[in-house]
Structure 1
Amino acid sequence: MKLILTHEVTGLGEPGDIIEVKDGYGRNYLIPRGFAIRWTKGGEKEVASIRRARKVREIKNLDQANEVKAQLTGLKVKLATRAGESGRLFGSVTVADVASAIKAAGGPDLDKRRVELGAPIKTLGTHRVTVRLHPEVSAALDLDVVSA
């Protein structure tokens, strides 16, 4: 199945890329979640608009990615959330929560799709979070989850 990516998908490509995947993966995962649309000849026009939008948002080059990484390296990120007496959270911390906490701590405004948690965060304490800034550059920072 031939698809056009509308969002970045790890291991497949960037928005605007035309990819070939198995029918079930495209039909049951990528298209329903809005990560891709079916490829058509008319879809080629949409590829151009997706790529233009991506150029506005993306980190332009390796130097800019390293600058953002330097900003994130020394950043102390604290996220206050509701938790029980045992230190277990009511729910879990999402990538959107982490992205907004980074911005609130004085860091850059990041797209939530660039944040990788590894495992779901469901307890209080310090957790390691990775931010993919560029295909060659990623920054790791500590997220301090505290009770609100």
Structure 2
Amino acid sequence: MEIILKENVQGLGFKNEIVTVKDGYGRNFLIPTGKAVIASASAKKMLAENLKQQAHKLEKIKNEAVALAEKLNAVADIKIAMKVSVTGSIYGSVTNLQISEELAKRGLEVDRKSIVLKEVKQVGAYTAVVKLHKDVSAEVAFEVVAEEA
């Protein structure tokens, strides 16, 4: 089933993108919640016309995302203090929420849902990927350190 997304859906696609999904996922979740519409011929024509009219707005949004990505790539010295066991394992794990809070302290507002992070359960250096736009992403390096007692 082809659908047109009305908003960004994590793991599926971005707003105004035509994607193919299984029938049940589209009919039972995406369409009833207003996240998508069926991609009929008339809906595709309307989408093309809307995208043509919004091309300059989309270019502005993309330029803002590129500027933010440059700032994020320049960020250094992010240290996250966690309680650590004797073996070097941390209690719990580092999440995208903690990365988002650290970036907010530096004046960079990033939605925590756009931060992709692999499992962090040890002390050390890691990298998080921030997806700002469908064509723009940035990498943020951070270090997990032991919390001072």
Once residues 33 and 8 of structure 2 are traced to their aligned partners in structure 1, the CA distance between those partners, rounded to angstroms, is 15
Distance 1:7 1:66, change over 3 A: closer
TM superposition shift of 1:99: 0.8
Alignment of 1:1-148 (within 5 A): 8-14=9-15, 21-22=21-22, 25=25, 31=29, 36=30, 38=32, 61-76=61-76, 77-104=78-105, 106-117=106-117, 119-148=118-147
Please list the CA deviations of residues 69-94 of structure 1 after superposition, one character each: whole Å capped at 9, or x if unmatched: 12112212211111112111111111
CA separation of 1:39/1:63 partners in 2, compared to 1, >3 Å: closer, same or farther? closer
Q: Structure 1 residues 74, 39: CA separation in 2 closer, same or farther (over 3 Å shift)?
A: closer
| Offset of residue 8 of structure 1 | 2.9
**Aligned-pair CA distance for 1:62:** 1.9
How far apart are the structure 2 equivalents of 1:141 and 1:62? 19
Q: TM-score w.r.t. structure 1 length?
A: 0.65
Contact 1:114-1:133 within 8 A present in 2 as well = yes
- Percent identity of paired positions between Structure 1 and Structure 2: 28
Runs of 4+ in 1 over 4 A off after TM superposition: 1-7, 16-20, 23-28
RMSD: 3.2
d(CA) in 1 for partners of 2:88, 2:104: 25
SS in 1 for 2:99: helix
- Structure with greater strand share of residues: 1
Distance in 2 between the 1:145 and 1:37 partners? 41
- Paired AA for residue 67 in structure 2: E
TM-score after normalising by structure 2: 0.65
Structure 1 regions of 5+ residues with no counterpart?
44-58
Check conservation: 1:80, 1:146, Cα contact below 8 A: yes
**Matched residue pairs, number?**
123
